[in-house]
Amino acid sequence: MADSQTPHGSIIAGINVTPLVDITLVLLIIFMVTAKIIELPGLDVDLPKAAQGTEVQVILSVIVSPVHPMMINGIDIRSDKEFIQAATQALAQHPDVRAVIAADGSMPHREVVHILDLLRQSGISRVAFATTPETLVEP
């Protein structure tokens, strides 16, 4: 009977790590859920303001700026043929691809409509426009 009990001042030989692993996995799941999956690469553009703007999962990012060539997922695009080729590749990799157009506010309307036409030609029909929420706009 006396042998089954540990003396009061003895050293603990083992540590139970199960609670530590549980907490670590919960934190990992929280970070994965709350982390932004893909960020818009590249240029600093002046996005239009919208009160009801929401984030969408960005798969195909199209950035249009008056001072820089058009970019798709951070790659410079210099012709319509390159644009259609890159968009078609993205569609082949992800059948439910979503394109997000981040056009500078000073871009002419015809440029944005041309990009929409190029996306349609490459088979992408799910398109969104990037905006800046009004709460983040400096007065």
pTM of the shown model: 0.56
Q: What's the token pair of residue 94?
A: 């992800």
Q: What average pLDDT values come out for the chain (139 residues) when binned by 10 residues? A: 59 82 90 64 68 63 83 86 88 85 86 90 87 64
| CA end-to-end distance (rounded Å), the chain | 78
Output phi, psi for 65, to 5 deg.
-135, 145
What domains appear along the chain, each with residue ranges and CATH number? 2-34 (no CATH), 49-136 (3.30.420.270)
Task: Give the three-state DSSP class for 27.
Answer: helix
> Which is nearest to 39 in space by CA: 63, 12, 68?
63
